Chain A
Amino acid sequence: MSLLWFGAGIAARGCSLDEMLSRAQEREPLGPRDLPADGSADLGLSSFFADAMRVPRGPHPGDPVSDAWNVDDINVMPFRTVGMGPEPVRRALRLLARVVDPRQRRELVMFGHFSVRSPRHGEYLILPRSVFNVVELESGASYCAGPLTPLPIPDLMLLQKLMLENEPEKFFQVANRRQPDVALRPRNLEA
């Protein structure tokens, strides 16, 4: 039904989707980082929705690591923290982006998460969530450990990175572990 209303709205205004996109671009011109490298204007649907959803569009898989990428290229939405305004989250994200190594920074900018290699414990993915956000890549098991006082999610990710890389025994001593299939196993199939 809503699609019908949407279509009727376009017809009533007498303009096509391309015209609507062009008008949107006129109201909010593309920034330099949004323009393709060959200089041609990209007014397609992908750029429209990417801008609308504030998804970072700079780096892509396979791109070389660049110091030009900064925290402003990161989509902040996944890092929103319950009970906190945007400023602590943004501040924590800037610190995180400065402390992680270039490989992790690239992953953070591209995907919103990054991997760490823990000595004698394997490789882990740190996700932008507040609980069970450390995932062991080999087994899929997830771990949950954090401070008693609330931290912005990027600070929590930084804490976990530093602990996993430098104090893994201390981290795993207190972390709760969840098997990878706990959330996916249908109850009616359990013995």
Chain B
Amino acid sequence: MKTLRFLDSSGDRELGYDDSEQMATARAEAQRLFEAALANGAVAFAVNRAGGKPDQKIGDFSQLEDETVVVPRIVGG
């Protein structure tokens, strides 16, 4: 099971999916939201990676690992 988290005002929106046929709809929805977010300037990072590896920027849906955090586009405050 892979987890995709979009940071928002509720804390985060969590989507879970895997590569099975039963999760095809959830996977398609996750991919749509992921690509829409990145198109709007968001950045995705793989976190809590296996083997204690450091976090890593992700640019493609096929690269998603077990847990990914999508942060919205940032501007100067």
Contact = CB atoms under 8 A, between A and B. Distances in A.
Interface stretch (B18-26, B28-36, B42-50): B42-50
Q: How big is the B interface, by class?
A: 20 to 34
B76 A175 contact: yes
Interface string A167-191: 1001100111000000000000000
Nearest to A151: B7
A176 B74 contact: no
A119 B54 CA distance: 13
A144 B76 contact: yes
Contacts of B5: 95
A162 B11 CA distance: 16
Contact of B10 (A91, A99, A175): A91
A interface secondary structure, majority: helix
Given A99-B48, A165-B54, A147 B72 contact: yes
22 contacts: A87-B11, A88-B10, A88-B11, A91-B12, A92-B11, A99-B55, A99-B69, A145-B74, A148-B75, A149-B8, A149-B72, A150-B9, A151-B7, A162-B43, A162-B45, A162-B71, A163-B43, A163-B71, A163-B74, A167-B43, A176-B76, A176-B77
Given A147-B75, A165-B55, A170-B43, 7 more contacts: A88-B9, A99-B55, A144-B76, A144-B77, A146-B75, A163-B74, A175-B77
